[in-house]
Structure 1
Amino acid sequence: MMNTAEFKVIFNQYDELDTLLLEAITQLKIDISAEQRRKLLLYLDKLLFWNKAYNLTAIKQPKEALIKHVIDCLAILPHLKLGKLLDIGTGAGLPGVIVAICEPERPITVLDSNQKKIRFIRQSISELQVTNVTPVASRIENFNPDEGDKFAVVTSRAFASLTDFVEAAAPRLAQGGWLQAMKGLIPEPQELQVLQDQWQIDNIALSVPYLHETRHLTELHKIVI
């Protein structure tokens, strides 16, 4: 029996949410321990508890937030390329903190211009003892890592436009790296057309357990001529 005293919001629904999360993990065929599951639910609890102060999400109901935030992000894990990851426009830490909890060996930088949201992430990862995340409060235009510090994978859940994401992400990408953008629908043909001369583009359909909405992971790899 889990000690739910550390949960401030979801303690009454803990068993239901843990069962739902375990079923989703099983459906996605990903390897996540009971301790990692506990941390994912603690992250969800902190997200909902601090939401009013930090304006983290429009979703207030724990079950809906679990599906639309945590499980939605878990669905990309089987497809993520290996290596150091940058999450642009991370907001409350989605997907960066979720990936970090599940892949503690992967170095992850989460970046957002919203100071409050980065403060929330700093506090949360400290309390959760997630040590592989570096939170950065900055606009992406002002974040310029040295060549040796660039990223093997750059992802985002927040960009409406694929072309804007590529423009922001490409200068921070290591040679041979991958851009992987979480999307609802496949990007419009005209967006893809603008990019396809320089990028190999694949759209992976994601099946997110319990989410009755379309999800894709659009991945881009630089064409070397």
Structure 2
Amino acid sequence: MNLLVTEAEAQDWLRSVLQVDDARMDRLSNLVALLLEENERQNLVARGTLAHVWVRHIVDSAQLLHVSRETLPEGEWLDLGTGAGFPGLVIAALQPERPVTLVDSRRLRTEWLQRAADALGLDRVSVVLSRVEDLPSGPHAVISARAFAPLDKLVTLSARFSTPDTVWLLPKGAGAPHELQVLPDSWNHLFHVEQSLTDENAGIIVGRLLGGSAPRTTKAKGKRT
């Protein structure tokens, strides 16, 4: 597999592999412009990544539509800890017909997300200011989270948003295989790791959660004296 390194390679990949048309490429270009402008006001992404924004943020997000090895189910996409809108805002820009819910616990981030969604004409985006723990339960077709929390914690927090048909797409760093290996056996899952197209040291955990629960912890009883 060839990694995407240059901005031109990233944009060519979007057109040739994802078949992104001119209208959606324009929408992504507008998203990049909005990001660059807002990053002068608040630190949405590391400044050092802006010279490679198409690789590091746009395609790094868009590749989730490609790595699952199966057609993603229709229905609402839930992006947890969305931050600057990656991957959720990119997914919404590429699939404007899909309902996408962007969740973040930081007010400035959610205000930016709403402004960006409005500016891009993404009327099926819902921006939610909340901690994941406080979200109401309910099934979603796809769940994503970009380096939001370790896998075991993320699954424990988010299993209530999932059904056996929900596809999970979780961009991770080099520790993706280890996170999957140490996921407790009590979770019945079909997760595997895919290589990132944008970082040779990063992996994406992909799959379905069939059931199970977090392991119970017991407190040791102390002796009375």
8 Å contact from structure 1 (residues 84, 107) kept in 2 = yes
Secondary structure of 1:86's match?
Answer: strand
| TM-score for the superposition, normalised by structure 1 | 0.79
Q: 2:170 is matched with which residue: 156, 181, 198?
A: 181
In the superposition, the TM-score normalised over structure 2's length comes to 0.79
C-alpha distance in 2 between matches for 1:170 and 1:130:
27
CA-CA distance at 1:207 after TM superposition: 4.5
Deviation at 1:139? 0.6
The one-character-per-residue Cα deviations of 1:14-64 (angstroms, maximum 9, x if unpaired) are xx95x444312146x112111111111111111111113222011356431
Instruction: Give the Å deviation of 1:87.
Output: 0.3
Q: Contact (CA 8 Å) 2:191, 2:206: kept in 1 or not?
A: yes
Change (3 A) 1:190 1:165: closer
Aligned residues: 203
Residue 27 (structure 2) pairs with residue 35 (structure 1) = no
Contact 1:87/1:155 (CA < 8 Å) preserved in 2?
yes
Q: How does 1:119-134 map to 2 (within 5 A)?
A: 119-134=111-126
| Aligned-residue RMSD, C-alpha | 2.4
1:199 is aligned to: 188
Q: Secondary structure at the match of 1:141?
A: helix
Aligned ranges 1:1-225 → 2 under 5 Å: 19-26=8-15, 29-60=17-48, 62-79=50-67, 81-82=72-73, 83-145=75-137, 147=138, 150-174=139-163, 176-189=165-178, 192-208=181-197, 211-223=198-210
Q: Which runs of 5+ in 2 are unaligned?
A: 1-5, 213-225
Matching residue's letter, 2:188: W
Structure whose CA Rg is larger: 2
**Which structure dedicates a bigger proportion of its chain to helix?**
1
Q: Is the 8 A contact 2:32 2:53 kept in 1?
A: yes
Alpha-carbon distance between aligned partners in 1 of 2:18 and 2:78, rounded to the nearest angstrom? 21
SS in 1 for 2:59: helix
